[in-house]
């Protein structure tokens, strides 16, 4: 029941090794959630884990409504994708409310 050369990211049912009592044990990063990892999963796979890294937030967009309630958005990019069961990426987009106050607001008759 060894994970040597068998570390897989995400949920991968093909990433298994023969375990005790004819049962499969798994070497995919999802095995930590399901509790069916091979005995050496942490030593063999997490050592090679690379967590997600993201860049800085971009600027906020303009308010989606020139007059009244709208929203603004901003995003950031993944600079290093997660590998070998590393930490997943955080949110890449954010949205917040805004109030459009264009000079022409309120002048319509």
* pLDDT one-digit tens code per residue, 49-108: 788 999 999 999 999 998 889 999 999 999 998 876 677 899 999 999 999 888 888 765
- β-partners of residue 101 are 67
51, 62 Cβ separation under 8 angstroms: no
Q: Are strands 53-54 and 78-80 parallel, antiparallel or unpaired?
A: antiparallel
**Among the residues of 1-83, which ranges form H helices?**
31-34, 41-44
CA pair distance 29, 26, nearest whole angstrom: 9
Q: Which residues contact 81 (CB under 8 A, 6 or more apart)?
A: 52, 89
């Amino acid at each position: 029941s060894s994970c040597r050369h068998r570390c897989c990211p995400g949920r991968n049912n093909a990433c298994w090794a023969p375990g005790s009592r004819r049962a499969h044990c798994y070497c995919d990063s999802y095995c930590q959630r399901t509790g069916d990892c091979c005995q050496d999963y942490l030593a063999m796979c997490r050592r090679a884990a690379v967590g997600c890294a993201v860049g800085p937030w971009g600027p906020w967009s303009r308010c989606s409504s020139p007059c009244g309630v709208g929203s603004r958005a901003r995003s950031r990019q993944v600079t290093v994708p997660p590998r070998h069961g590393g930490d997943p990426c955080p949110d890449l987009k954010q949205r917040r409310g805004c109030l459009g106050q264009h000079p022409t607001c309120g002048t319509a008759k």
